[in-house]
Amino acid sequence: MGGISVMLLMGMLSAMYVFFIAVIAVLIIYFAVSYVFESIAAMGMCKNLYYKHSGTAWIPFYNKYLLGKIAGNKALGIIEGVLNLSIATVAVLFFCFELEIGIIGLIALLACVIASFVIDVIIADKIFKNLNIRYSDVLTVVNVLTFGLFRPIILFVFRNKQNTVRF
């Protein structure tokens, strides 16, 4: 009798472990694809604005600064880059080095994630408005409702549209 319950428990734990690994794998794949689409979009927009070094859009965290520059607000881009760098640093420390961040650290991390999302939405909205996209408000609402999942794809689609703001 005891052996069956142990097998059942071990099976449930291994299923939860596999589910956890699958969720982490999906998140990593999403972030990689999102980064590629966002970098291509930023590079295309920089070329349209005659920026000399459009290839720098592939530098992690610096591409957020470039998106802020494209939107016409460098400060938002700098803040977004710093927030993303801090989120990535805490994630690496937490998962790779098994450091405990505690409840205050978790609240600070969640605050950084929420602030990053809000600033991403603001930057995307400014870019949509600068591109004179007819349905820029609808795209911003779609961006918010999908929690930013479609933002890199939308930016990628409109990367070749001429911007009204110049560097």
Q: Are 117 and 64 in contact (CB under 8 A)?
A: no
Q: What is the pLDDT along the chain (167 residues), one digit of tens a residue?
A: 556 666 666 677 777 788 888 988 898 899 899 999 999 999 999 888 888 888 899 998 999 999 999 998 899 999 999 999 998 888 888 777 777 777 887 888 889 999 999 999 999 999 988 888 788 889 889 999 998 888 899 888 888 877 655 55
Helix and strand numbers, DSSP H then E, in the chain: 6, 0
Any idea what the Cα angle at residue 48 is, between residues 42 and 52, rounded to 5°?
Answer: 80
What tokens were used for 84? 């993303």
Residue 56: count of CB within 10 angstroms of its CB = 16
Question: Could you tell me the pTM of the whole model?
Answer: 0.81
